[in-house]
Amino acid sequence: MADAKVRIGIVGATGYAGVELVRIVSANPGMSLERITSTREAGTRIDALYPGLIGTCDLTLVAPDADDLGESCDLVFLAVPHTASLAITPELVSRGVAVVDLSADFRLSDPEVYRRWYDTPHTAPELLSQAVYGIPELNRDQVVDLGTRPRDLPRIVANPGCYPTAATFAVAPLLRRDGMVDLSCPVIVDAASGVSGAGRGATARTHFCSADESYQAYGVGRHRHLPEIVQNMTRLAQRQVSVVFTPHLAPMKRGILATVYVTLSHDLEAGELRAAFEQDYGRERFVHLLPEGVQPATGSVAGTENVQIGVARAHGTRVAVITCAIDNLVRGAAGQAVQNANLLCGLNEFSGLDTPMPIV
Amino acid sequence: MADAKVRIGIVGATGYAGVELVRIVSANPGMSLERITSTREAGTRIDALYPGLIGTCDLTLVAPDADDLGESCDLVFLAVPHTASLAITPELVSRGVAVVDLSADFRLSDPEVYRRWYDTPHTAPELLSQAVYGIPELNRDQVVDLGTRPRDLPRIVANPGCYPTAATFAVAPLLRRDGMVDLSCPVIVDAASGVSGAGRGATARTHFCSADESYQAYGVGRHRHLPEIVQNMTRLAQRQVSVVFTPHLAPMKRGILATVYVTLSHDLEAGELRAAFEQDYGRERFVHLLPEGVQPATGSVAGTENVQIGVARAHGTRVAVITCAIDNLVRGAAGQAVQNANLLCGLNEFSGLDTPMPIV
Amino acid sequence: MADAKVRIGIVGATGYAGVELVRIVSANPGMSLERITSTREAGTRIDALYPGLIGTCDLTLVAPDADDLGESCDLVFLAVPHTASLAITPELVSRGVAVVDLSADFRLSDPEVYRRWYDTPHTAPELLSQAVYGIPELNRDQVVDLGTRPRDLPRIVANPGCYPTAATFAVAPLLRRDGMVDLSCPVIVDAASGVSGAGRGATARTHFCSADESYQAYGVGRHRHLPEIVQNMTRLAQRQVSVVFTPHLAPMKRGILATVYVTLSHDLEAGELRAAFEQDYGRERFVHLLPEGVQPATGSVAGTENVQIGVARAHGTRVAVITCAIDNLVRGAAGQAVQNANLLCGLNEFSGLDTPMPIV
Amino acid sequence: MADAKVRIGIVGATGYAGVELVRIVSANPGMSLERITSTREAGTRIDALYPGLIGTCDLTLVAPDADDLGESCDLVFLAVPHTASLAITPELVSRGVAVVDLSADFRLSDPEVYRRWYDTPHTAPELLSQAVYGIPELNRDQVVDLGTRPRDLPRIVANPGCYPTAATFAVAPLLRRDGMVDLSCPVIVDAASGVSGAGRGATARTHFCSADESYQAYGVGRHRHLPEIVQNMTRLAQRQVSVVFTPHLAPMKRGILATVYVTLSHDLEAGELRAAFEQDYGRERFVHLLPEGVQPATGSVAGTENVQIGVARAHGTRVAVITCAIDNLVRGAAGQAVQNANLLCGLNEFSGLDTPMPIV
């Protein structure tokens, strides 16, 4: 029946991306949440773990089971660590279930690059080659097309990483335009993330007394999002792009700000740069170029699917400085996953994602 | 026409309660936002002041004008300081506009008490006597009845203060039950608020470097919410209640936690206390009693209309300790105002208020 | 030799109280830090664990060993969980080492009360009876006297808990004065602590994303500091005092604010109350009564041994509201321990404790 | 007399740098604080404005007066906005008072550059040419020499800006070494500051609810610290250096982290880079190179004069990524000012600056 809701499962519902999926799917009138799973916390009600869900979702976590998911769900979100998606995706695909994978397992098109950065072989290269990496505003059609495939073919969306999402939105209009960027210089991506980006695990680094009132870089020059950023930029530029990426941990719960330094081929005016962004993003509901001289703040996109972008030129150089703010758990994970799922399932792309969030 | 949306105006839209009203009204399918006013910032787009509203509301602020509001709005929210509501309410009422007043001007039923605590006479005592103080879960019928009045009679909801809302929810089930509470002892309300409670004004106290990483009491024994708390508790108990109220400023943006100490008349079990709360609140969509031993956190209700309550007995005494968490700007201001407006206008009570908020 | 420094050991140097001891002892010209121990992290340099110590202390952690401590130290601080002190104290005492115990093991004078609240028998009641509970400003002489005992007698200071310290300073001047307080009503201690009070352990509750931007009560009516608070107040009043104690977790790293509600026997003026505080604390270097109408903020005592106190009367009741701010890790643990040790060892009481801390 | 303390005045003692000067000078055994001034808050005790100073400094603010300062002080710190120092410095110098100026007025050696960036002419170019820009670890001798000048010659230290200090420490060892850095590429300085960097002024941007839980860039490509950074780097390299500088505001009170991207001339190993830092900073008490793979956190230097540095190479490029953490108010302002003053006055360079700060 045309009106039937898409039946949804969330594997790994207790992590931060998982619980945001629970929230957003619950608010999506085109979806019905059928299963939420957790290997470790099966048997617990999700709203006992997260009292913020009281009144929104009273489901009980179950252990993940492919047969059960295959029968009860049309689409499953995988909010699990890398390699865990590799294990479960083939089982879901073979049961005709569509998969939106929030892990890194289907993001890197070259299984060898995956092996090198994740220290483990890619065990499903045949599925990898059919998965679609989905940033809707950049390749909406591919995700829609995926949704038209027959159920016995793999329908897998590789949901982008948080840093790559922010970095890619920041430079896509420039890299796409042939000759605008001097690719002999590396693109420098300096980014700050809220602590939720480090996950729900209680560690020395996520302890309030470590993270609060402090700011520091981590994983300098070797963060696993680097090859994904390189892949995205290289695709956009249709030439190899060299990238330097430095993530930082900022004392806040949510949000990513990517400050991206791009060397321009010639001395373009800020207005010319801005025109490229306007042209590419001007009609997008969730992507907003800020007025000249205004820089986006992560707080202004907290909890939303929005992308806010500021464009500036660095005094006396050929460098453009683009800053791009997203919410790491929504646009950087659960929200973009739902946007992809909406496209895949033929729902309104914005369904569940367009509620305004607290302003202060 | 039955489907016509209620046309809304917000006077004082740039304060923190005002901008939350903008957000919630924008998300309310039964309302259309027609006017947003600001004396000081007329001419500015609200989403330039609050970039978090980009994509949600692109209205431009105008100076408040009673004629214009009277023509374009069915209901106006007043999110202005005390005395400012006194000035504008008669003008709106005389034009047949319903008013939900977020200031203190119509909360205290005795104009003499108002005069004493606000150092200014109450200039509209005849309207005051007809205003309805609205906490929907406690006196829903009165607000609904107000909505049935002819347009030429005053329809004014006095929207409760943030601290009084939290404190009142915490004790209503106990005070309502005759003989449960020993009223010879004062009720002690110890409460903490996020910094948004101090308003948008940039002051020494709201400076990040003053408020961050610090916790302190303020207005001890003389905060203006005291008479409102006393009035609410006295109404519920139908006897004079003595109250000690100590507000604190906590280093967070939002939220109020009221920890209320009530001396019981006899040595009731925690279970008996809990039964009273279950009975009164068990069917309310937005009010949640937490399981025994669990205490509410302000973070779990951030951005929502929810009220979460924990009930405990203090070891070796006749004191019950009730903790009650709300969001100060939603349940403590804009959200409860919209809930009251929904009731007044015959809309679904929960319209615009039931979207789940970010969980992490 | 008169000038020899007191040789110090710190058992449990990697916890938050332990590392603050390292810092304060390092800054104390009368002490030399000889041993820092950690069972779990032996072999690691303390400044690798805590880069804030780079340049201050380059000692390597060793496993605790009574013989080694006995030979190399005159005084040992125990910054370990309860029961661990019970195990090691007799071994140190028998080797002639003075002990300042930051755990709860020697605080409760009645071993039966200890057994009831800590669910384990007190295994050294004979030492317990000789230990001195030390809040220098309240019983300085006892700690000094302890220091004059021969080395073959036990010299143990039970260092107070953080909440009891704040609560006790808040009410001592009132309780000491016969007839000032109506003890038929319980004293209500409502207190907020920074997250460091929950210790260094990485748990769901200390995760930045749980603690940040949230405020909640915990352990309502059953926190283990309750019997210590009762014991202190009962001693001061020389009559049984009934106490209700509610601790809260505030989103900040450090600090405790105790807001204490005391019912007065008669309707004393604020000035009379203040006079009692002035009389008792006016000459103390670290205890400060704030001007009338001013409330202490935890941020103003962060990192210091200072105690700041505000005194107010609650409008229309016989209740006095005393607020008392301390740093939970300094005055509430490591700093008071060093102050006690200074007294015990005949050093300047303030040595290592009087450096001003960052103001903003 | 050899033992006489240096008599100190602080002009502009109520700003954040000023009050940190009060704290540090109070703790400096070689200095005695004689005068603290404030035009706006003359007559107020400093510890009433900043209760954290209770017990440390009970001086009353006076209006600044050159004659009074000239008589009572040997050295005056100017913690005032730019142009205010230009006004008062000549008056102090003519009275034989040494000046350490924390404003920007004497930092830029070219008065024309000053005029361009500060929109006002430099009114004391003859003093400018004699002022010494002082980062002790980089040009200690010049500051010491300044102290040997006769009192009738100008003795002015231009105290560096916070961002320039961090950025300069990060790259000095590389730029000093001829040929190590490829200066055809701009040096990119991406830096985050705590909110105290925005000053004590209560503004929309410093409001807790704006700054908390948010991260954003500001002044992109046009911040006034840019010419100072360029000047420092150009001096070190002895060739013109092109710089891109992007400051960010991080939700914390204090600290600066500069993440600096330098293009190397050839593919140096991380070890070779580290050797340069070890060689230059290895014997400095306050400058610490962290072990390979470890990045400095601002929290680890909070309240201290310390500089912590991490050195890394970016994967697959010729770019070195240096991160440098300082406390913006101590090393970035008041602390470095005192270190300069100590050198100027022949005191122990570290006096007042070597107390360890709270670790958690």
The residue-averaged pLDDT of B156-169 equals 98
List, as ranges, residues 279-308 from B with C-beta within 8 Å of A.
285-286, 288, 290-291, 294, 296-297, 299-304, 306, 308
Banded pLDDT at D1 (limits 50, 70, 90): very low
What is the model's pLDDT at position B267?
87
D174: left (phi over 0), alpha (psi -120 to 50) or beta: alpha
Burial B179-201 (b: 16+ CB within 10 A, else e): ebbebebbbbbbbbbbbbbbebe
- In chain C, residues with a C-beta closer than 8 Å to the C-beta of A212 are 195, 208, 212, 252-253
Catalytic residues of D: 162
C213 contacts B314? CB cut-off 8 A: no
Q: How far apart are CA C335 and CA C352, in angstroms?
A: 9
Q: For residue A190, give its domain range.
A: 162-328
Mutate to test the interface with A, among C206, C209, C249, C329 (most CBs of A within 10 A): C209
Q: Is residue C282 part of a domain?
A: yes
Which chains does C contact via 3+ CB–CB distances below 8 A?
A: A, B, D
Q: Are residues B12 and B71 in the same domain?
A: yes
Mutate to test the interface with B, among D19, D208, D214, D249 (most CBs of B within 10 A): D208
pLDDT tens sequence across A127-157: 999 999 999 999 999 999 999 999 999 999 9
Q: Are residues B248 and B298 in the same domain?
A: yes
pLDDT tens sequence across C153-204: 999 999 999 999 999 999 999 999 999 999 999 999 999 999 999 999 999 9
Burial A24-61 (b: 16+ CB within 10 A, else e): bbbbbebbebbbbbbeebeeebbbbbbbbbbbbbebeb
Burial C254-278 (b: 16+ CB within 10 A, else e): bbbbbbbbbbbeeebeeeebbebbe
Which 8-state DSSP code applies to residue C212?
Answer: T
Lowest-pLDDT choice from A321-330, B217-226, C142-151: B217-226
The residue-averaged pLDDT of B231-250 equals 98
Q: How far apart are CA D120 and CA D105, in angstroms?
A: 11
Q: Is residue B127 part of a domain?
A: yes
Q: For chain B, give the mean pLDDT.
A: 97
Q: Are residues C121 and C246 in the same domain?
A: no
- The runs of H, that is alpha helices, within chain C are 16-26, 46-49, 66-72, 84-93, 111-118, 125-128, 136-148, 162-176, 208-211, 226-237, 270-281, 335-345
Closest Cα in chain B, distance from residue D253 (Å): 6
D310 contacts A253? CB cut-off 8 A: no
What is the model's pLDDT at position B3?
66
Which chains does B contact via 3+ CB–CB distances below 8 A?
A: A, C, D
**Quick check: C1 pLDDT over 50?**
no
What is the model's pLDDT at position A39?
96
Facing A27 at nearest CB: one of B52, B330, B356:
B356
Share of chain B above pLDDT 90, in %: 97
CATH number of the domain within which D146 lies: 3.40.50.720
B244 contacts C317? CB cut-off 8 A: yes
Banded pLDDT at B269 (limits 50, 70, 90): confident
Closest Cα in chain A, distance from residue D163 (Å): 15
CATH number of the domain within which A244 lies: 3.30.360.10
Mutate to test the interface with A, among C203, C207, C215 (most CBs of A within 10 A): C207
C211 contacts A195? CB cut-off 8 A: no
Which token pair is B284? 């309310």
Q: Is residue A357 part of a domain?
A: no
- In chain B, residues with a C-beta closer than 8 Å to the C-beta of A296 are 51
Lowest-pLDDT choice from A315-319, B90-94, D208-212: A315-319
C355 contacts D358? CB cut-off 8 A: no
Which chains does D contact via 3+ CB–CB distances below 8 A?
A: A, B, C
pTM of the model: 0.97
**Quick check: D246 pLDDT over 70?**
yes
Number of domains composing chain B: 2
Which token pair is A193? 């993330």
**Hey, what amino acid is at A42?**
A
What is the model's pLDDT at position B221?
82
Q: Is residue B355 part of a domain?
A: no
- In chain C, residues with a C-beta closer than 8 Å to the C-beta of D55 are 285-286, 288, 306, 356
D321 contacts A244? CB cut-off 8 A: yes
pLDDT tens sequence across A28-49: 999 999 999 999 999 999 999 9
Q: Work out whether the CA dihedral B172, B176, B181, B185 comes out positive or negative.
A: positive
Residues whose CB is less than 8 angstroms from the CB of residue B289 and which lie 6 or more positions away in sequence, other chains included: B274, B277, B278, B281, B282, B309, B310, B311
The verdict on B208 touching D (C-beta cutoff 8 Å) is yes
- In chain B, residues with a C-beta closer than 8 Å to the C-beta of D196 are 209
Q: Are residues B170 and B312 in the same domain?
A: yes
Q: How far apart are CA B81 and CA B11, in angstroms?
A: 11
Share of chain C above pLDDT 90, in %: 97
Q: Is residue C350 part of a domain?
A: no
D301 contacts C358? CB cut-off 8 A: no
DSSP symbols for D173-213: HHHHSTTSB-TTSPEEEEEEE-GGGG-S---TTTBHHHHTT
Catalytic residues of A: 162
Q: Are residues D146 and D116 in the same domain?
A: yes
Locate the chain B residue with the closest alpha carbon to A298. B52
Q: Are residues B153 and B168 in the same domain?
A: no
D358 contacts C22? CB cut-off 8 A: no
Q: Are residues A126 and A18 in the same domain?
A: yes
Mutate to test the interface with D, among B193, B200, B209, B298 (most CBs of D within 10 A): B209
DSSP symbols for C16-39: HHHHHHHHHHHT-TTEEEEEEE-T
- In chain D, residues with a C-beta closer than 8 Å to the C-beta of B195 are 208-209, 212
For the sheet containing C156-158, what is the strand order?
A: C31-37, C6-11, C75-78, C98-101, C156-158, C132-133
The residue-averaged pLDDT of A70-80 equals 98
pLDDT tens sequence across C58-78: 999 999 999 999 999 999 999
3-state secondary structure of C353: coil
Q: For chain C, give the mean pLDDT.
A: 97
What is the model's pLDDT at position A3?
66
CA distances from C183 to B277, C101, C263 (A): 31, 31, 7
The verdict on A222 touching D (C-beta cutoff 8 Å) is yes
What is the model's pLDDT at position D79?
98
What is the model's pLDDT at position C3?
66
Q: Is residue D359 part of a domain?
A: no
Q: How far apart are CA B304 and CA B285, in angstroms?
A: 12
**Hey, what amino acid is at B5?**
K
C162 part of the active site: yes
A322: left (phi over 0), alpha (psi -120 to 50) or beta: beta
Banded pLDDT at B192 (limits 50, 70, 90): very high
pLDDT tens sequence across C204-215: 999 999 999 999
The verdict on C102 touching A (C-beta cutoff 8 Å) is no
Q: Are residues C107 and C191 in the same domain?
A: no
The verdict on B27 touching C (C-beta cutoff 8 Å) is no
A209 contacts D257? CB cut-off 8 A: no
Closest Cα in chain D, distance from residue C359 (Å): 6
What is the model's pLDDT at position B176?
97
Q: Are residues B62 and B130 in the same domain?
A: yes
Share of chain A above pLDDT 70, in %: 99
Q: Are residues C100 and C211 in the same domain?
A: no
The residue-averaged pLDDT of D292-305 equals 97
Closest Cα in chain B, distance from residue C194 (Å): 8
The verdict on C190 touching B (C-beta cutoff 8 Å) is yes
3-state secondary structure of A269: coil
* Candidates B162, B185, B324, B345; catalytic one: B162
Q: Is residue A108 part of a domain?
A: yes
Q: Is residue D353 part of a domain?
A: no
Q: Are residues D170 and D318 in the same domain?
A: yes
The verdict on C244 touching B (C-beta cutoff 8 Å) is yes
* Candidates C57, C73, C162, C324; catalytic one: C162
**Quick check: D2 pLDDT over 60?**
no
Q: Are residues A279 and A168 in the same domain?
A: yes
